[in-house]
Structure 1
Amino acid sequence: MDPVIVVGAGPVGLTLALALARQEVPCVVLDETRGQDAPRAARSVVLREDTAALVERLAGAPLGQAGLRWSGWRSMRRKQVTGEVFFDETGNGAGTAAVSGARIASGARIASGARSGAGAAPGVAGNAEAAGAAPLHIAQHVLTGALRAAVAREPLVELATDSRLDTIEQEPTGVTAHTRGPNGTWWRGSHLVGCDGPRSTVRKLQDIRFPGRTAVERHAVAALRTELPRPAEAFLHRLPPWRTTGPSAGEIAARPLPGGVWRLDWLLPPGKDLVTPELLVARIRETLTGWTGETSPTYELLDTGVHTVHHRLARRWRAGRVFLAGDAAHLMGAFGTQGLDEGLRDADNLAWKLALNWHHGPHEALLDSYQSERRAAVAARLRAADQVLPLVRGGGLRSYVPGSSRGHDALLMDGHLGRGTLGTPGSYAGSPLAPPRFDTEAPVDTPAGAPVADVVVTAEDGSFVPLRDRLGRGALLVVLVAPGTVVWERRHWVSAGIMPRLAAAVTALPHPAELLVAESYPGAAPHTVLLVRPDGHLVTALSGVRPADLYAAAEATLGGPLPSGTRAEAGAEAGAR
């Protein structure tokens, strides 16, 4: 069978190619460049902890040494002492109208820790496993380099450089693409995915509209090496009192990178005024002076730029055998929301669906669900940002939002830390793949359709692994919550209690599934059985072993019965018992 054609060799395209290869699907990546990314310290990205874990699984290497993780945040009250600004901790979330700045504590992956009990950082679990559960800040060229290195080692992925797409032709049995350049030729594939950025050629060739808003926000950006009073902490200062170079209308963000490097972002006033080198240097000096109290702070300027935020959403994400992902499908970025993070979720969602179709034949309902799920999730975040934007930037939040005395800071933190409507990863509760409600459903802290918690599980070989390590292999995951199993070797309990009956039910499912056992799961009672999709989203949680309900939920997750000749026929009768 023909490979999948991926257009674009940025982080989203490379992630998709590696995710497909992990599920034994060959692909060709069309890269219009020569295969190299120029180092740009001012061009960095923020990944939520689950998308960072996705990249690490596929790249085969930890990213902790290449970036910094944020482990939590506390509100800060600004005080003025002899002209110097410093921050006084006021606790986690009980801010007042006087709160004008915030920090986000961060550190290297090993050093970042979670706080438990009263004072625990919002969204961070109070246990040692949560030490790495934090957003990751990393230079984009470093991220892309790690993915390119993994692609070079992957025999199922062919990277075609100097290959610029100019033609797409679809047929009932496949798609053909033509590239121009030194290596221009025709390529034949089963499907084609456009991961080719905001000016996507794939989107234009398919005549897909890309409506939205231009220049929602503009930020001046600088990457520099310097020393700040709070090393390895990210700052978000909403109303700096020292602003003299232009209107003091927007916040300043400072995010650390390894090696004493910082990325600083200044929100620019509306308009198209040029950011001259002189103006940018003045902003750097006054910001560092305000934070350090030094009249002539020392720094090494590494890189500069202007980041313009657009909010756009493609009308369609699928046109027959052609799909869109990443910036080709959506643009976002106000309030710290990260478009690349959503693009990686696109790749994770689409990979297992394309893989199932590639191995088992056409299944249109499953492929259609990619647009239904991902477009709805991104649209919800864009809608939330567009609704909040005029309130926060225009100063009218107090009239509209209850508790608005602290609303500005809380809303900004939501986007930067992946919380609330601005930052929480999308849930697929309304997905066409969602199963019907079962009388045997059991309550857990994870809503159906949301990403599962990364608990430690016992795999079939008896090893203890994080649940996320078992994702992305194309198989469904069935997790039994069985307290006490962690203290016994697997051979002692694998044939006891409900395990044999559950194992038989898992074997009979209409798609390959892996049976895992967890000592506990947040909010789950003993003997709760969780069904998890290959991309880590919860399908359902059942009370005990319910073969018929488990089978029905698995079949719904696949978009209905699979084509004849697959495992669906062999397992249907046994699974219904």
Structure 2
Amino acid sequence: MDPVIVVGAGPVGLTLALALAAAEVPSVVLDETDGEEDRRAARTVVLRPDTAALTARLGCATLRDEGARWEGWRLMRRKQLVRTLPLGAEGFPSPVHIAQHALVRGLRAAASKTSLVKVVANSRLDTLEQDGSGVTAHLRGPGKAYWRGSYLVGCDGARSTVRKLLGVRFPGRTAVERYAVAALRAELPWPREAVLHRQPPWRTGGEEVAARPLPRGGWRVDWLLPSRGELVTPDALVTRVREALAGWCGETPPYELLDTGVHTVHHRLAQRWRVGRAFLAGEAAHLLGAVGTQGLDEGVRDVDNLAWKLALARHHGPGQALLDSYQAERRTAVAARLRAADQSLPILRGGGGLRGLLPGSAGSREALLADGHLGQGPLGAPPAYPNSPLAPAWTDGAADVGTAPGAPVTDVRVTAPDGTAGRLRERLGRGRLLVVLVAPGTAVWDRRHWVTAGVMPRLAAAVDGLPMDAELLVAEAYPGAAAHHVLVVRPDGHLAAAFAGVRPAQLRAAADAVRGGEPSNARADAGGRTAPAN
């Protein structure tokens, strides 16, 4: 079968190619550039724990070598410290802050180590055609004139050529927020802690300024700008830098200014994320980023959702419900994120609206800001898919556990029947269903005994008979689950179902629901639709 064509060699496109490779699916990545990433120190990304874990699991070593994990979070207002929050082992999970060019370099290095990913430089998409068995991508310029693929995914950014060729509208709001940005090296009073300072007391502080640590004494500093006006000249930005450092340190310390810029946040959502065999992901499908939210997080979550579905379609035959579920799940989740950000803006920016309706609005603002910047709550937490079209129907024997159906599972320690032990999330990303038996005591029993005792043989036989690839695991405990509860976990780590005891018929029905039912033929998968060529 032809490879998946990935248009765009940014963080989302490369992560998708690596996720497909982990599920043994080949891909061709069409890169408009010559393979050299623009090294802008002020262009950085923040990855939440779930998205950082996914990219690290796919082999991106630069997260460890060139990323900064925050050890704390500070919220200040005027001259007062309002709130501190430890991050990492002693507190909330810690995000990773990294220069985008370093992240891309790490992803490219990981892609170069597998024969299943082919990155083709200087490949600019011109037109695309679809038929019942695949997609043809025609290119501009020298070299190979076209590529043939089983599916095509547009990961080509906000000005997506793929989205335009598919005729998909991209409505939304322009210039929701604007920021002046500087990357610098300096010694600040709170090393390795991110700081958000509201209404700082110095002249050029504006309404809000944030400082987020980078490796080797680096920082990215962002000033919220008025929605209109205020041209930011280089001299004016240097003045902002000096006054911010003096305000935090008592006087302006020695510093090295590495890069500057102005960043404008837009909120947009593509009306369709799938047209036949073509899909949209990342900024080709959505733009967000106000009040501390991170658009790349959602792009990586798009990849996590789509990769296993394309892999299942390749290995077991395509199904309409399976491939349509990508748009149903991810577009709904991102739309909820955008609504939450838009509803938060009047509260956070002092424009009235909802603010007057909220008692204790200062505390509400603090909680919203923490949510946005730390990846918590409706503004940033990993999404759940409670109304997924892949959700199994509730049946006799279904059980409630500490994770709701459709939500990400808790990362408990698990053991495979061969004795391999590790964390549950380490077993994700291989395109397989995970079936987890909660069996207290297995950690101290000899594996040779428990693997053939109790309900294990019956459960192993049931897992072997499932209609998609599945892996059996055993956990000592799981939040809210009793002994002999069985959890069915999707390949992207979301809970599909939980059962009280071993129930082969219900287990098979759950697996059938996750794969979207019986696969359809390839011609039906294309939906009889051909994308417009221009």
- Name the TM-score, length of structure 1 as normaliser: 0.87
Q: CA deviation at 1:161?
A: 0.2
Q: CA deviation at 1:362?
A: 2.3
2:270 aligned residue (314, 321, 327) = 314
Q: What does residue 257 of structure 1 align with? A: 214
Q: What does residue 167 of structure 2 align with? A: 207
Q: What does residue 559 of structure 1 align with? A: 516
* Separation in 2, partners of 1:442, 1:417: 32
1:483 aligned residue (425, 440, 446) = 440
Per-residue deviation, residues 266-312 of structure 1 (Å, max 9, x unmatched)? 10011143210111111111111111111x32110011111110000
Q: CA deviation at 1:403?
A: 3.3
Say which is worse superposed, 2-11 or 494-503, in terms of deviation.
494-503
Q: What does residue 376 of structure 2 align with? A: 419
Q: CA deviation at 1:388?
A: 1.4
Q: What does residue 42 of structure 1 align with? A: 42
Amino acid at match of 2:317: G
**CA, structure 1 residues 208+563, in 2 after alignment: closer, same or farther (shift >3 Å)?**
closer
CA contact (8 A) 1:481 1:526 kept: yes
Q: What fraction of aligned residue pairs are identical, expressed as a percent?
A: 68
* Separation in 1, partners of 2:212, 2:510: 43
Q: What secondary structure sits across from 1:289 in the alignment?
A: helix
* Separation in 2, partners of 1:60, 1:393: 37
* Separation in 1, partners of 2:309, 2:229: 43
CA contact (8 A) 2:433 2:491 kept: yes
* Separation in 1, partners of 2:368, 2:60: 35
**CA, structure 1 residues 548+193, in 2 after alignment: closer, same or farther (shift >3 Å)?**
same
2:281 aligned residue (311, 319, 325) = 325
Instruction: Give 1:307-386 correspondences, 5 Å limit.
Output: 307-386=263-342
1:147 aligned residue (107, 112, 116) = 107
CA contact (8 A) 1:218 1:267 kept: yes
**CA, structure 1 residues 268+179, in 2 after alignment: closer, same or farther (shift >3 Å)?**
same
Q: CA deviation at 1:223?
A: 0.6
* Separation in 1, partners of 2:74, 2:502: 43
2:234 aligned residue (277, 292, 296) = 277
Q: CA deviation at 1:86?
A: 6.2
Q: What secondary structure sits across from 2:236 in the alignment?
A: helix
Instruction: Give 1:445-484 correspondences, 5 Å limit.
Output: 445-484=402-441
* Separation in 1, partners of 2:197, 2:403: 33
Q: What does residue 267 of structure 1 align with? A: 224
2:348 aligned residue (392, 409, 433) = 392
| Structure 2: stretches of 5+ with no match in the other structure | 522-534
* Separation in 2, partners of 1:289, 1:245: 12
Would you say 1:245 and 2:201 are equivalent positions?
Answer: no
**CA, structure 1 residues 185+462, in 2 after alignment: closer, same or farther (shift >3 Å)?**
same
Q: What secondary structure sits across from 1:487 in the alignment?
A: coil
Amino acid at match of 1:445: G
Would you say 1:233 and 2:209 are equivalent positions?
Answer: no
Amino acid at match of 1:421: P
Instruction: Give 1:95-110 correspondences, 5 Å limit.
Output: 99=82, 102-103=83-84, 105=86
Per-residue deviation, residues 18-73 of structure 1 (Å, max 9, x unmatched)? 11111111110000000111222211111111111110111253723321223554
* Separation in 1, partners of 2:29, 2:75: 45
Per-residue deviation, residues 156-215 of structure 1 (Å, max 9, x unmatched)? 111110010011011111110111123251111111100000000000011110000000
Would you say 1:495 and 2:452 are equivalent positions?
Answer: yes
Amino acid at match of 1:478: V
CA contact (8 A) 2:62 2:103 kept: no
Q: What does residue 298 of structure 1 align with? A: 254
Q: CA deviation at 1:326?
A: 0.2
CA contact (8 A) 1:103 1:234 kept: no
Q: CA deviation at 1:429?
A: 0.7
Q: What secondary structure sits across from 2:314 in the alignment?
A: helix
Q: What secondary structure sits across from 2:130 in the alignment?
A: strand
* Separation in 2, partners of 1:76, 1:444: 39
Per-residue deviation, residues 440-460 of structure 1 (Å, max 9, x unmatched)? 222222111111111111123
1:183 aligned residue (136, 143, 151) = 143
CA contact (8 A) 1:103 1:233 kept: no
* Separation in 2, partners of 1:37, 1:27: 21
What number of residue pairs does the alignment pair up? 520
Amino acid at match of 2:498: A
Q: What does residue 59 of structure 2 align with? A: 59
Determine which structure has greater relative contact order: mean sequence separation of CA pairs < 8 Å that are 6+ residues apart, divided by chain length.
2
Q: What does residue 21 of structure 2 align with? A: 21
CA contact (8 A) 1:219 1:267 kept: yes
CA contact (8 A) 1:209 1:314 kept: yes
Q: What secondary structure sits across from 2:396 in the alignment?
A: coil
Q: What secondary structure sits across from 2:309 in the alignment?
A: helix
Q: CA deviation at 1:103?
A: 4.6
Would you say 1:162 and 2:122 are equivalent positions?
Answer: yes
Q: What secondary structure sits across from 1:281 in the alignment?
A: helix
* Separation in 2, partners of 1:530, 1:286: 55
* Separation in 2, partners of 1:61, 1:485: 34
Amino acid at match of 1:17: A
Q: CA deviation at 1:488?
A: 2.5
Per-residue deviation, residues 361-404 of structure 1 (Å, max 9, x unmatched)? 22111000000000000000001111111222134354122432
CA contact (8 A) 1:479 1:531 kept: yes
* Separation in 1, partners of 2:31, 2:446: 49
CA contact (8 A) 1:104 1:235 kept: no
* Separation in 1, partners of 2:449, 2:74: 46
CA contact (8 A) 1:363 1:562 kept: yes
CA contact (8 A) 2:71 2:193 kept: no
CA contact (8 A) 2:136 2:146 kept: yes
1:509 aligned residue (454, 466, 476) = 466
Amino acid at match of 1:302: L
Q: CA deviation at 1:462?
A: 0.6
* Separation in 1, partners of 2:281, 2:112: 22
CA contact (8 A) 2:29 2:118 kept: yes
RMSD after superposition: 1.7
**CA, structure 1 residues 59+272, in 2 after alignment: closer, same or farther (shift >3 Å)?**
farther
* Separation in 1, partners of 2:180, 2:409: 37
**CA, structure 1 residues 336+434, in 2 after alignment: closer, same or farther (shift >3 Å)?**
same
Amino acid at match of 1:245: T
Amino acid at match of 1:42: A
